[in-house]
Amino acid sequence: MNNFDFCNPTRIIFGRETVSQLNDVVPADAKVMILFGGSSAEKTGTLDEVRASLGDRAVSEFGGIEPNPTYETLMKAVELIRSKDIDYLLAVGGGSVIDGTKFVAAAVPYEGEPWDILLTGGQHIKSALPFGTVLTLPATGSEMNSGSVVTRRATNDKLPFMHPLVFPKFSILDPTKVYTLPERQVANGVADAFVHVIEQYLTFPQNAMVQDRLAEGLLQTLVGIGPKILADQKNYDLSANLMWSASVALGGMVGTGVRHDWATHMIGHELTALYNIDHARTLAIVLPSLLNVQRKDKAEKLLQFGERVWNITEGTEEARIDQTIDATRNFFESLGISTRLSGYDLGEEVIDAVVKQLEKHGMVTLGEHGNITPDVSRRILVDAL
Amino acid sequence: MNNFDFCNPTRIIFGRETVSQLNDVVPADAKVMILFGGSSAEKTGTLDEVRASLGDRAVSEFGGIEPNPTYETLMKAVELIRSKDIDYLLAVGGGSVIDGTKFVAAAVPYEGEPWDILLTGGQHIKSALPFGTVLTLPATGSEMNSGSVVTRRATNDKLPFMHPLVFPKFSILDPTKVYTLPERQVANGVADAFVHVIEQYLTFPQNAMVQDRLAEGLLQTLVGIGPKILADQKNYDLSANLMWSASVALGGMVGTGVRHDWATHMIGHELTALYNIDHARTLAIVLPSLLNVQRKDKAEKLLQFGERVWNITEGTEEARIDQTIDATRNFFESLGISTRLSGYDLGEEVIDAVVKQLEKHGMVTLGEHGNITPDVSRRILVDAL
C-alpha cells in the first residue's frame, strides 16, 4: 500500500424525505443560487421541494446545465453570480449539474481566465463558493468527492479538475428520486459506478486489502442490483443501495493508497466530446476492450476480480481471464448498453479522430503503468469496433 | 436501509515516516499539549519524533493516561490545560490515549461538572479544543471517529460519549509503529477491530448491501491478517492493512443506516471495570456466548456471516450457525486470547456482580432489538464460564 492522505468532509444526508433538511443545513442568511439541468427537476417536483425547504432565503435560479456540462453554459452562471450578491450554491441534479456547480464555485472568485482551472487540473484554485447538492441521479459520485469534468464546446475539449475546496458541504441523497428517472439513465448510473470502481481496483496487486474488498463488495452489489432495478425501478431497497454504491464508488475509500488506471475514462471522454455518446456508454465500449488489450499487465487482478466478483474459478488462467472479460461485457449488455462502437453506428473513422484528440490533450501515457500510448489506445478502439 | 446522516471529517495521513507531517498540519502558532500513556511512547522514540516535528511551537506534555483512561487522571490534564494557555491537543498513543484526549478536549471548556459529559453521552457539549492524533496501536478506531469511553475509578463506572466536535482534525497512521508493540497488544487490536465490525453488522437483514459487504471485507481481512501478523510483526503490508482495517472498522461507514448491537461491548465494559481484563479480551469472552444465546434473533445474519466470511455452506441451518460461532471462537483463540471467563481465573461469582453493574448503568435493554435484559446478560455470562 502506498502512503496516502485521505479526507472526505462531505456530509451525507441519506433517505426518504430528506430534501426538507435543506432548511437545517443551508445557512439561514445565505443568498442562494440553485443550479439545475433540464426540465425534469421542475416536472418531478424536486425543484418545488427545494424551494419550499429554503423558506424565505433570497434564492436565484440558473437552469439549463446540460449533460457533459459546458464551459460556455457555466460561464453564464459565473457572470450572473458575480453580478448578484450570491454566497451559496445549491446543485439540484445528477453528476453533470454537480460537476458544473463545482466549476462555477471555483470560477467565481478565480483570478484570470477560468478555463485555466481545467488546463491546470485545479491546482491554482485558492477559494471557492460553498455549495451543497440535492442528488437526483445516482451515477457519478460527484456528490461525495472533489472532482469535476467540464467540456468546452468550441473545441471539443473535455477535461477534469480536482480540489479539496470543491467538496460539497453536504449532499442530500433521497433514493425515491430514482423512481422517476428514465430507464436509460438508471442503466447508465449502474454502469458508471461500476467502471469507477474498476478504474481504481483493476490494476495490479498493491497489498491494499481493505480497498480491494470494498471495491469487490461494491461490484458485487452493483451486479446484484443491475438488471433487477431496471425491472423494478420503484423498489426502495434497490434504489437506496444503488445510490449509496455510486457515492461510495468514488468517495475516495476505494482508491486511497493505490495507483489507479482511468484510461477507460480518458478514452471515453473523447468519444463523448466527439460523438456525444452518454458518458457511461463510452465506458462500457472502452472497458472490455481495454481489459483484453491490457490482459497481461492486469492478469493477477483480472483473476482476483473473476474469482471474487464473478465466481470464475475453473480453467486455465487465460480461459478465466476470457470468462471474466466476457462476464463484464455481458453485464453491460444486460443493462441494455451496447459495448461496441458499431452499436452507436460508429466505425473505423472513429479511431484516428479519438487518437488525435488524446494526443492533443496529452493523454499519451495512460493507465496504471503509464503504458497506454496512443498506439495502445488505437488497439483498444480497434478491439471495440 | 434506514435514513442516515454521515460525515467523517477526520483527515488520515497514512504511511511510513508520516509523523514529520505534524509540522504541516498543526497550526504554526498553536500552543500544544501532547498527551500520552506510559513509557513506551518515550522508549520507542515516537515522542522524540513528535517533538522534533512540532519544531519551535510552545509544547507542554501530559503523560500517564492509563489503559481504560480514568476520569481521575484526565481531570488532572484538564486542570493543567485550564491553568496554561493551551489551544491544541495532540494525542500520541492508542485508543485509550485518544479516548482520553477526546474527553479532555470536551471537558476543558465544559460548563459544570465534566463527569456529566459521560452521564449524558455527550449531548450537552457545546465546544471542544481541537486536537490531532499520532496512532501507535491499531485497535479501537478512535483515531477516526467521534466516540470515547472513560472509566471512573472511584465507582468502577465505564461510560461512553460521542460528539461531532471530538472528531480528530487529523490522525497520523504510521504502520511501522506496529513493529515494536507487545504481541499481546497486536492480538488485542485484531480482536477489537473484529468485534467492532461484528457489533454493527451481525444483527438482522437490513437491506444495506454496501455496509454488509464492507463489513464482510474487513472481517475477511482481519481473519487473513490475524495469526500471520503475530508470527511476522515487522511485515509492513500486514501492519498497514491491520491499521487501516481497524480505523475503517469504526470510521462510520460500516454502521451507517443500520441498527447496531453493542451488547458485547456493554457487558465487556463491566468486566474491564470490575476485573481489569483487557478490553479486547472481554469482547472475545462475551461475543461467542452472546451469538449462541441470541442465535434465533441473529439467525439470518449468522448464516450470511458464516457463508461469506468463513465459507460455511454445508449442513442444516443450526449446524452452520454452530460452525460459525465455533469459527469465531477459534479465531480469537488462534490469537492467544481465551474466550472463557475461566481463562482469566474467574467463575460464577462474576455473574451477579456484572449484572448488578449493568442494571446500575441502565444497560437493561441491550442489543439491536433491545431484548438483552439483565436475565439474558446472565445467560450469556453463564455460557461464557
| Residue among A1, A213, A248 whose CB faces B220 most closely | A213
Q: Phi then psi for B29, rounded to 5 degrees?
A: -100, 15
DSSP for B55-87 reads TTSEEEEE--PPSS-BHHHHHHHHHHHHHTT--
Q: Do B15 and A1 touch (CB under 8 A)?
A: yes
pLDDT of residue A157: 85
Q: Do A241 and B209 touch (CB under 8 A)?
A: yes
| pLDDT digits (tens), chain A, 385 positions | 999 999 999 999 999 999 999 999 999 999 999 999 989 999 999 999 999 999 999 999 999 999 989 999 999 999 999 999 899 999 999 999 999 999 999 999 999 999 999 999 999 999 999 999 999 999 999 999 999 999 999 988 888 999 999 999 999 999 999 999 999 999 999 999 999 999 999 999 999 999 999 999 999 999 999 999 999 999 999 999 999 999 999 999 999 999 999 999 999 999 998 999 999 999 999 999 999 999 999 999 999 999 999 999 999 999 999 999 999 999 999 999 999 999 999 999 999 999 999 999 899 999 999 999 999 999 999 999 9
Q: Phi then psi for B94, rounded to 5 degrees?
A: -100, -160
In the numeric block, the cell 500544544 is attached to B32
Q: Do B7 and A7 touch (CB under 8 A)?
A: no
pLDDT of residue A191: 98
pLDDT tens digit string along B114-148?
A: 999 999 999 999 999 999 999 999 999 999 999 99
Q: Do B3 and A12 touch (CB under 8 A)?
A: no
Which pLDDT band holds residue B355 (cuts at 50, 70, 90)? very high
Strand, helix or coil at B13? strand
Which pLDDT band holds residue B156 (cuts at 50, 70, 90)? confident
Q: Which chain A positions have a beta carbon within 8 Å of B245's beta carbon?
A: 209-210
pLDDT of residue B157: 85
C-alpha–C-alpha distance, residues B197 and B328, integer Å: 13
Structural domains present in chain B:
11-176 (3.40.50.1970), 182-383 (1.20.1090.10)
Q: Which chain A positions have a beta carbon within 8 Å of B224's beta carbon?
A: 209
Please state, as a whole number, how many other Cβ atoms lie within 10 Å of the Cβ of residue B314: 8
Strands (E), A37-152: 58-62, 88-93, 131-135, 147-152
Q: How far is B7 from chain A (nearest CA, A)?
A: 4
Q: How far is B337 from chain A (nearest CA, A)?
A: 24
CB A144 within 8 A of CB A251: yes
What percent of chain B lies above the pLDDT cut of 70? 100
Which pLDDT band holds residue B333 (cuts at 50, 70, 90)? very high
**A131-135 and A88-93 strand pairing:** parallel
Please state, as a whole number, how many other Cβ atoms lie within 10 Å of the Cβ of residue B293: 21
Nearest chain B alpha carbon to A218: B210
Q: Is A141 left (phi over 0), alpha (psi -120 to 50) or beta?
A: left
pLDDT tens digit string along B285-294?
A: 999 999 999 9
Q: Phi then psi for A279, rounded to 5 degrees?
A: -50, -50
**A147-152 and B131-135 strand pairing:** unpaired
Q: Which chain A positions have a beta carbon within 8 Å of B8's beta carbon?
A: 8
Burial of B187 (0-12, 13-18, 19+ CB in 10 A): buried
C-alpha–C-alpha distance, residues B339 and B368, integer Å: 23
Burial of A182 (0-12, 13-18, 19+ CB in 10 A): exposed
Q: Can you say whether the dihedral through the CA atoms of B179, B185, B191, B193 is positive or negative?
A: negative
Q: How far is A117 from chain B (nearest CA, A)?
A: 25
Q: Which chain B positions have a beta carbon within 8 Å of A4's beta carbon?
A: 12, 14-15
Contacts of B237 (CB under 8 A, 6+ apart): A1, A207
C-alpha–C-alpha distance, residues B98 and A327, integer Å: 46
In the numeric block, the cell 425501478 is attached to A233
Q: Which chain A positions have a beta carbon within 8 Å of B12's beta carbon?
A: 4-7
Burial of A237 (0-12, 13-18, 19+ CB in 10 A): middle
Q: Do B14 and A8 touch (CB under 8 A)?
A: no
Among A158-162, B101-105, B364-368, the range scoring the smallest mean pLDDT is A158-162
Q: Phi then psi for A9, rounded to 5 degrees?
A: -85, 0
pLDDT of residue B115: 97
Q: Do A3 and B18 touch (CB under 8 A)?
A: yes
C-alpha–C-alpha distance, residues B312 and A385, integer Å: 44
Q: Which chain B positions have a beta carbon within 8 Å of A15's beta carbon?
A: 1-4, 257
Contacts of A367 (CB under 8 A, 6+ apart): A261, A262, A263, A294, A297, A376
Q: Phi then psi for A63, rounded to 5 degrees?
A: -105, 170
pLDDT of residue A284: 98
C-alpha–C-alpha distance, residues B285 and B290, integer Å: 9
pLDDT of residue A156: 80
Among B22-26, B151-155, B319-323, B325-329, the range scoring the smallest mean pLDDT is B151-155
Question: What integer best gives the mean pLDDT of chain B?
Answer: 97
Contacts of B383 (CB under 8 A, 6+ apart): B289, B292, B293
Q: How far is B290 from chain A (nearest CA, A)?
A: 27
Torsion angle of the four alpha carbons B292, B294, B300, B305, in this order, in degrees rounded to the nearest 10? -50
Question: Looking at the DSSP assignment, which residues form a beta bridge with residue A147?
Answer: A162
A-B contacts at Cβ under 8 angstroms: 116
Which alpha helices (H) appear in B45-203, and where do they start and end? 46-54, 71-83, 95-107, 115-119, 183-201
Q: Is B340 left (phi over 0), alpha (psi -120 to 50) or beta?
A: beta
Q: What is the DSSP letter of B343?
A: G
pLDDT at B94 over 90: yes
* Identity of residue A47: L
Nearest chain B alpha carbon to A224: B209
Q: Which chain A positions have a beta carbon within 8 Å of B237's beta carbon?
A: 1, 207
pLDDT of residue B36: 98
What is the pLDDT averaged over residues B218-239? 97
Q: Chain A residues contacting B, CB < 8 Å? A: 1-16, 18, 207-210, 212-214, 216-218, 220-221, 224-225, 237, 240-241, 244-245, 248, 253, 256-257
pLDDT of residue A19: 97
